[in-house]
A = this chain, B = another copy of it.
Amino acid sequence: MVTSHLFTGFTQDSPLPLDSGASLYPVAISYETFGTLSATKDNVILICHALTGNSHVSGSPELPGWWDHLVGPKKAIDTNRFFVICSNVIGGCSGSTGPSSINPATGVPYGIQFPVITIGDMVRAQHALLTALEIPSLHAVIGGSMGGMQALEWAAMYPTYVKSVVAIACTARLSPQALAFDSVGRHAILSDPNWNNGFYYGLDIQPNRGLAIARMIGHITYLSEESMRLKFGRNLQQRSDYGYDFSTEFQVESYLQYQGDKFVNRFDANSYLYLTKAVNYFDLHKKYGSLDIAFQESQAHFLIISISSDWLYPPHQSKELVSTLMKLNKWVSYANLESPYGHDAFLIQNDQLSELSGSFV
């Protein structure tokens, strides 16, 4: 039982407050639910998606979900047992309010007049949704990558609301190297003349070149050196020798170009700017003063999972989280999954990931 919904809340008189000091109204949140809410409303699991994800975490053969192998009837996150909610983040472009939405003040899409949002703002909006749905507490909040950041932020912002947190392939703050990759991706969009200062909605030309470059850079960081070697090596694409020209020759080039070209058809360049900015701003140390302070009030149980070959949010960053939680005497489990697939491994079928998260929730 999958149902797609649109929640709309917040008004000019009572807008959503944002970490920047600005505020936002109205706020639409596109979400899907899976399974049945129990009479006591104690079986709710919130799943938070990653940078370019959406609310369709679980689906059907016709319309697959992005975590089908993990979420569904009799899966690790069993929708026969749990009432799963997955919502598109604010700032995104898959149904929730974001830069492509109409700005009530102007009657046209926000573009870069959309306020800069944070992971905390995303979570605050999700909390408003759950409050509107009269959900008294969360059995669990689960996410990978940017979804894991939201899960951690849930524990920090709503310390008694969340019973358990599963944070996969994430970090309490990005390294400067990870910041740098996002920054160059944004620079590619911002310097695309078709970006047009963010006002390209409805125009024939879109900042597709910049967005594709940003996506290509991102994809390199989502894989690992090993997975690229296993998947592509130095193999040439449909040719037996070098062509001595500037066409796409290596399989790895072809893959990246395909990923870039495909991405521009499904994602909004401004949303890419806003969501990477939210990820770059995410810093639990800075926001709360220290990781200790961030988690000291939390009553959640934690499952922290890192990926051995993830060099974007490397395992040592997860271990730092785990050390802090242990020091605070929180209930915490940790696993470093052995996988060659790099950061993206959290999206790939993995029996250990299923067993760990299934037995935890």
By a beta-carbon cutoff of 8 Å, the part of chain A in contact with chain B is 20-22, 112, 115-116, 173-177, 179-181, 183-184, 186-188, 190-193, 209, 212-213, 216-217, 220, 223, 225, 228-229, 231-234, 242, 244-246, 248, 250, 252-253, 256-257, 260, 273, 277, 280-281, 283, 286, 311
Contact = CB atoms under 8 A, between A and B. Distances in A.
Contacts of A280: 250
* Identical chains in the assembly: 2
19 contacts: A116-B244, A175-B229, A176-B228, A176-B234, A176-B252, A177-B220, A177-B223, A177-B225, A179-B234, A180-B220, A180-B228, A183-B248, A183-B250, A184-B213, A184-B216, A191-B209, A192-B209, A193-B193, A225-B311
A280 B253 CA distance: 11
B232 A176 contact: yes
Given A175-B229, A191-B209, A225-B175, A181 B250 contact: no
B244 A216 contact: no
Given A112-B246, A176-B225, 5 more contacts: A115-B244, A177-B228, A179-B253, A184-B216, A193-B193
A203 to B, nearest CB: 16
Contacts of A173: 234
Chain A contact surface mostly? helix
A343 to B, nearest CB: 13
Contact of A180 (B176, B180, B252): B252
B245 A116 contact: yes
A136 B185 CA distance: 50
Contact of A250 (B176, B187, B244): B176
A183 B256 contact: yes
